Amino acid sequence: METLNIPRDVYDAMLRQLQDAYPLEACGILAGLEGQVRRLYAVENRLQSPVAYEMEPSRQLQAMLALEDAGLQMLAIYHSHPAGPQTPSPTDVAQAYYPGVAHVIVSLAQRRRPTSRAFTLDDGRVHEIVLKIV
């Protein structure tokens, strides 16, 4: 996947969730087909940390079953960096368990102007992809 297209309403819902969790990291899954996001699944960060996230396992499983039932694929995992940049941390790269799935990282360092970027993280390699809000 070289481009991830997120509808404006889904993107705005993602930003609201991430802002509501501030100053903690928040996370979830973006689902759709062929690089076109159709649905957001917010998943609780079980670490409740400002510098790390881990999806709560039962909620992550519920989201993955729901997106599969809807005929969708997991296109991206998203999370916030409340005080950091919109680039993957070494931990993000080390814990990228889904090859081919994009990672959307939203920096809330400037809370009134969040910034987002998307990457694939495969085998320790970081590759930026185009993130389009449509």
Q: What is the pLDDT of residues 63-105, one digit of tens each?
A: 999 999 999 999 999 999 999 999 999 999 999 999 899 999 9
Compute the average pLDDT of residues 50-57. Answer: 96
pLDDT for 1: 84
Count of structural domains, the chain = 1
Q: Does 22 fall in a domain?
A: yes
How many C-beta neighbours within 10 Å does residue 17 have? Answer: 18
User: Residue 94 falls within a domain, yes or no?
Assistant: yes
Output the domain CATH number for residue 20: 3.40.140.10
**Token code pair at residue 118:** 């998307």
Mean pLDDT of the region 109-123: 95
In a domain, 133, yes or no: no
Query: What is the pTM (predicted TM-score) of this model?
Result: 0.96
Nearest-5° angle of CA 13, CA 126, CA 100? 65
Whether 134 is in a domain gets the answer no
The catalytic residues are 25
Cα separation, 73 vs 93, in Å, equals 21
Range of the domain at 82: 3-128
Asked if residue 44 is part of any domain, the answer here is yes
Residue 88 lies in a domain: yes
| Residue 12, domain member (yes or no) | yes
